[in-house]
Chains A and B, each alone.
Chain A
Amino acid sequence: MTRFLDLSATLDLLGYDFVQHALLAAAVLGLVSGALAPLVVARQMSFAVHGTAELAFTGGAAALLLGWSVGAGALAGAVVAALLLGLLGQRDGERDSVIGVVLSFGLGLGVLLLWLYPGRAANKFSLLVGQIVGVDSTDLALLAGAALVVLVVLAVVYRPLLFSSVDPAVAVARGVPARALSPLFAVLVGVATALGVQTVGALLVLALMVTPGAAATRVTANPVLATVLAVVFAEVAAVGGILLSLAPGVPVSGFVTGISFLIYLACRGVAATRRRRVAAA
């Protein structure tokens, strides 16, 4: 237990480049995923995020095998996945099953690609559960660039996107191009997911793409405040998770998801207390 609180070891490690890169990557990831999370929750896209992440993993595995940048591979995989899900699952009732179909195929393909890869096993495993210390400066540049693009596009489409997410019938009547916004948002989510795959891993991206949004929308119905809170929650989970994992030298994923989950529980608690107080009043 004392290892977790070993401040001097943590400070020591903070001097290393790879740790600083990891923290920067986590901060960028927290910002992007926090900004997207409330909309992911409003559009009920948790499963889609999971499916996209699995295909980002497939892309990363393919890149590993071919000797390309894993980050670029994950990005390509996630964007293809987002487009595929967007095109095949336009109808609400079909969406769920399309994700299941595509997800399982992508994951199977990824496992096959990893098996073919002759390199170290640690690299393989990290795609699934994350290995943030593996982020180098090239990856970081790609990460920051992709994040910037996502944030700019999100800012441009934010209002129509929110409109069609919370109030689709009226949004369409007001001329919002909801049919075009859906795949566009899926691609934004895909890019953000791909960034997450490199850091927290394909299996755990939901901890940053969904949980902060779910927690924030528990405590506020103000969309702007919800977005701010989700960003804060995602930053605390991502950056805090890395800081805590440094001294004990354990995988970051456990801490990131753990913090995220605790924040979610706390928000549910706050919401429940508030409801009881309203009921009592």
Chain B
Amino acid sequence: MSEATTVAEARAGGAGPSPLVRLRAARLAYGSRVLWDGLDLDVAPGEFLAVLGPNGSGKTSLMRVLLGLRPLTSGTVEIGGEPAHRGSRRIGYVPQQRAVDPTLAVRGRDLVGLGWDGHHWGLGLRGRRERRRRVDAALAAVGATRYANQPVGLLSGGEQQRLRVAQALVGDPDVLLCDEPLLSLDLAHQRVVSELVARRAREHGTAVLFVTHEINPVLPLVDRVLYLVNGRFRIGPPDEVMTSETLTELYGTPVQVVRVGDRIIVAGAENGGGQHHVQETP
């Protein structure tokens, strides 16, 4: 497809471990509107892939395809060697940070516990000890033990998002899907959450797909970028994709990628420009 894609495929394929996420000739269209087509993507164990692009470019739809909630229009999608299906144990999912109703009667610990066995039928009285051990470990791993017994609605956005990461990881998934997990967090918490996810990928060999508008907190941590724009896309290491030439080609209009210190600013990208901070409609 492009030079960047070739490089990425060479990297992920070959002698390395078999990929945890594999898309082949994947096409997703709503009626006549094609979100993406001919998408070949392998995500290896331990790899951190950022999924970038303007609103409506099909980033969230990609997540839904991987979760088995939406079928591809054509092509194949595999998670850990088997076709993607609803409710896969192998996937952890971190949703967008949204305001939680402050009167909602759930503690952080309950939210994480639901990530462990909330999809099972019955009351779950038999597995209580195992559940407690798992939940405690997941809470400790993200540093959320201190506020685990407080109502979720009274916690800050950053604290809630830590719990979300714990909830996604409590089942020890092979693949972690994060859909705009940094939305409405301040810069410090964006860093914390991004680093929690990156550490997980590194230490447990979890394959991470991370959809975000906030490129700067994650860019130093990611291995590769999937950049989607109006049906076109590019896959490759950040240094190859995040350039004025590549993005100008993708957008079809002049785009400037400027590096200021350790920050990247993408200017001129329609609907995704400026500080790359655009509100995503859910």
Contact = CB atoms under 8 A, between A and B. Distances in A.
A222 interface: yes
Interface string B124-167: 10000000000000000000000001111000000000001001
Interface residues of B, number: 36
B119 A217 contact: no
B106 A160 contact: no
B105 A42 contact: yes
Interface residues of A, number: 29
A159 B103 contact: no
Classify the interface of chain A: helix, strand, loop or mixed: helix
A174 B90 CA distance: 10
Interface string A213-257: 000111011110010000000000000000000000000000000
A123 B259 CA distance: 80
Classify the interface of chain B: helix, strand, loop or mixed: loop
B206 to A, nearest CB: 16
A159 B124 contact: yes
Interface in A127-180: 155-160, 162-163, 166-167, 169-176
A62 B117 CA distance: 44
A170 B167 contact: yes
A159 B118 contact: yes
Contacts of A221: 104-107, 110, 149-152
A279 to B, nearest CB: 12
Contacts of A176: 87, 118-119
A38 interface: yes
Nearest to A155: B123
Contacts of B96: 169
A163 B123 contact: no
22 contacts: A38-B105, A42-B104, A42-B105, A42-B106, A158-B122, A159-B114, A159-B118, A159-B120, A166-B106, A167-B111, A170-B93, A170-B164, A171-B114, A173-B67, A173-B95, A173-B177, A175-B87, A217-B103, A221-B106, A221-B110, A222-B107, A223-B106
Given A163-B118, A170-B93, 12 more contacts: A41-B105, A42-B106, A158-B123, A160-B120, A163-B119, A167-B114, A167-B118, A173-B67, A173-B177, A175-B68, A221-B106, A221-B151
* Nearest 10 Cβ contacts at the A-B interface: A175-B87, A163-B118, A217-B105, A221-B151, A173-B93, A169-B95, A175-B86, A174-B119, A163-B114, A166-B106
